[in-house]
Amino acid sequence: MTHAQETAFDQSTVDKAQAIVARYPQARSALLPMLHLVQSVEGYVSQDGIRFCAGQLDLSEAEVSAVATFYTMYKRRPCGEHLVSVCTNTLCAALGGDEIYSTLKSHLGVGHEETAGEPGTPGSITLEHAECLAACDLGPVLQVNYEFYDNQTPDKALGLVKALQSGEKPAPTRGAPLTDFKQAELQLAGFFEGRDADLDGPSAAPETLAGAQIAKERGWDAPRMPSNAEFPALPEKK
């Protein structure tokens, strides 16, 4: 174990890693949340983080690296205090997502997966353009540390980022109160101590529920599947 590992991954981190392993019948299944745990400590997945996961799960470093480089949520460079993800997929782009991303890129002076300010320090921002964030009814949208800010405009997004840079934590449109990137990663690893109040935040916007509300008011209901429904036979495997 290197000195860097000893410093970053203390006994508390080891204990959390083993608690993650205990959730699964096979230890290797714990790799995804363990990589989030690594990011909660270092702010990204370093080579030491790769070695840490490999050692905890009895995997090779190549196996861990293959996973860490496949999923975009695992960052290979240190992130800022906040990760700002702007949806630039088709619908959000057409509604202004590209302009929002361009505005933030110009203001911060960085590009995709680059950080304005010293990574991890207060007010530092990592910017990225993201694929669909599954909020098309509220587009254009962006996320800060994976919390939603809906119905954005370039001016609103710029104001949000400036507030983050000055140390503020504007409330998301829905979801939990905003925290920083490392704390969000700890939650993604499955640790929520002291965050019980997060469940009190709104989980759905009125726009998302509008169709269901209209159906309820008008007594609409989808046909139910018959209890004796026959399913087609599965094709033979060749």
Contacts (Cβ under 8 Å, ≥6 apart) of 120: 43, 78, 79, 80, 81, 182
Two tokens, residue 1: 């174990």
CA distance 50 to 59: 10
Q: Which residues contact 151 (CB under 8 A, 6 or more apart)?
A: 138, 139, 140, 141, 173
Rounded CA gap, 35 and 52, in Å? 9
Dist. CA 139–CA 150, nearest whole Å: 6
Residue that the structure tokens 């990574």 belong to: 119
Q: Is 53 annotated to bind ligand?
A: no
92 is in an annotated binding site: yes
Q: Which two tokens stand for residue 30?
A: 């714990």
136 assigned to a ligand binding site:
yes
CA 138 to CA 146: how far, in whole Å? 15
**CA of 21: how far to CAs of 29, 80, 89, 170, in Å?**
8, 28, 35, 35
Tell me the binding residues for [2Fe-2S] cluster.
87, 92, 132, 136
Q: Which residues are annotated as a binding site?
A: 87, 92, 132, 136
